[in-house]
């Protein structure tokens, strides 16, 4: 067995009196901290603060996890955009149950979400798509996401075809939204906050949904501390 390198954790703990009655204020604050740390050259280790690991199951129940970028976050839930015909899209069409985790090791923070995925409205999808760089919009057309491709050259040839079809004139509407491209928001049923603590005696606080409402509605959440 190779030598194991170990670090002790030193996150700022979650004390009962400081935890609100709904999960949204903590989500909002931790995401803000991660984004600020990523923009601060003196804070190493946070490079992609919106990276979120997303787990789905297919029609047979087999799980898959991948990391995407969280490009939607409101009290309705976290969300992301993708090819709806990708592996995750077909999984969610068969079974909308989903789990997702934001992890910031350098800050000793993680947030775990479980719930079900719901497609975002097309106007929200279009607004985000139009805000993307031109090259990213072209790539959305060029990639049959999750499907095999013969080689890199074939992928680049497809990109070139769409670049010629939709040239860059510096306008949002230069590239239309593909009909197979969209987004999902996680309707969260459970949120868990994790803070790394010394000697692995970590803080874990879980919120569980008890009714319909947003992440900022205290009336629809119960809160409990979990052992590490």
Q: Which residues are annotated as a binding site for FMN?
A: 81-82, 87-88, 145-146, 194, 204
Q: Is 141 helix (H, G, I), strand (E, B) or coil?
A: helix
In sequence order, which residues have a C-beta less than 8 Å from that of residue 200 and are 6 or more positions away? 9, 228
Look up residue 3 and give its DSSP letter.
P
In DSSP terms, which residues pair with 99 in a beta bridge?
55, 114
In sequence order, which residues have a C-beta less than 8 Å from that of residue 93 and are 6 or more positions away? 84
Q: Is 192 helix (H, G, I), strand (E, B) or coil?
A: strand
Q: Which residues are annotated as a binding site for substrate?
A: 6-9, 71, 128, 132, 136, 200-202
Pairing of strands 203-209, 181-195: antiparallel
Instruction: Give the distance from CA 212 to its chain's centroid.
Output: 22
CB 183 within 8 A of CB 80: yes
Cα 221 to Cα 24, 122, 143, 212, 215: the distances in Å are 11, 29, 40, 9, 8
Q: Which residues are annotated as a binding site?
A: 6-9, 71, 81-82, 87-88, 128, 132, 136, 145-146, 194, 200-202, 204
CB 149 within 8 A of CB 157: no
Query: Is 200 marked active-site?
Result: yes
- Which residue is catalytic, options 32, 147, 200, 225? 200
In DSSP terms, which residues pair with 114 in a beta bridge?
99, 190
Catalytic residue list: 200
């Amino acid at each position: 067995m190779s030598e194991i390198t170990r670090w002790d954790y030193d996150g700022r703990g979650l004390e009962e009196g400081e935890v609100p009655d709904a999960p949204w204020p903590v989500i909002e604050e931790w995401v803000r901290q991660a984004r600020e740390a990523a923009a601060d050259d003196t804070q190493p280790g946070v490079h992609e603060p919106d990276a979120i690991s997303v787990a789905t199951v297919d029609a047979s129940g087999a799980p898959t996890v991948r990391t995407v970028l969280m490009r939607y976050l409101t009290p309705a839930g976290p969300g992301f955009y993708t090819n709806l015909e990708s592996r995750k899209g077909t999984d969610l069409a068969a079974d909308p149950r989903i789990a997702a985790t934001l992890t910031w090791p350098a800050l000793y923070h993680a947030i775990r979400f479980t719930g079900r995925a719901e497609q975002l409205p097309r106007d929200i999808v279009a607004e985000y798509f139009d805000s993307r760089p031109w090259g990213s919009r072209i790539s959305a057309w060029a990639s049959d996401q999750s499907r095999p491709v013969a080689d890199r050259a074939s992928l680049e040839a497809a990109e070139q075809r769409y670049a010629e079809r939709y040239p860059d004139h510096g306008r949002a509407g230069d590239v239309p939204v593909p009909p197979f491209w969209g987004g999902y928001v996680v309707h969260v049923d459970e949120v868990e906050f994790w803070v790394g603590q010394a000697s692995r005696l970590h803080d874990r606080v879980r919120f569980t949904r008890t009714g319909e409402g947003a992440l900022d509605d205290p009336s629809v959440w119960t809160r409990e501390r979990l052992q590490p």
